[in-house]
Amino acid sequence: MTEFLRKHMRTIFIITIVGFMAGAFVGFGSYFFGKKSVTDAVAEINGKKISYRDYTMMYNRTIENLRNAKEEVNEETMQRKKQEVLQDMIQEEVFWQEARKHGISVTDAELASNIQRYPAFQKEGKFDQQAYFQVVFQVLRTTPNEFEESQRRQIAIAKLRQMIADSVKISEPEIQFEYARANKGNMKKFNDERAKFLEGLRQEKVMMVFNEWFKQLNKQVKIKVYLEEIEKNNV
């Protein structure tokens, strides 16, 4: 692993791409809790605000989904979800900013193609505009513009993730070396197990690079959180 980082990290950092993989990171933990009155934002990421309205909508939707799934929603659950929703929104904004910084864009055609593939927006296997509006307004409780902007962000983040994954290259000597090390030098089944072993090795190395880059990004991003103060003012 150390040899891999030594050989590839310089290239990865030069092209400065970052990937998001759900559950792979501990999150941006070093928040600055602002003491000034900010009633229109729950957080700022590099100066970009996350509105209290957007946060409240996302939080309410999360709680509603839990209740629809017949899960217990008590005070402890609600407090935990408040933090989780805020962290998710902060992470999305951070990675969206990174995508834009590195010139990643999503065309209208890409966006439309992505949306039209959702089964919830289809009738008889084809995209149906009426079904789309019904789900967006009544189920998601948002507007088409807001939903499409959210989808555009997610597609851009997925592209960012794919870019960094594609940057990870593993040579044949590396594959054989890692396989031999994992199997105590026994290479008898190497040819039969090569494909499966390579996939696992690649996933491991991609995850390692994601996490290393995330640590570097976490040191650079400037985050201010105002949620606690807003909630105190609303009591």
**Which sequence spans correspond to the domains of the chain?**
2-234
What pLDDT, on the 0 to 100 scale, is given for residue 107? 96
Q: What is the mean pLDDT of each run of 10 residues along the chain (235 residues)?
A: 38 34 45 51 94 92 91 93 94 94 95 96 95 92 93 96 91 96 96 96 93 87 89 75
User: Taking CA 191 as the corner, what is the angle to CA 190 and CA 196, rounded to the nearest 5 degrees?
Assistant: 75
Amino acid at 29: G
CB 156 within 8 A of CB 106: yes
Specify the pTM: 0.73
CATH number listed for the domain at residues 2-234: 1.10.4030.10
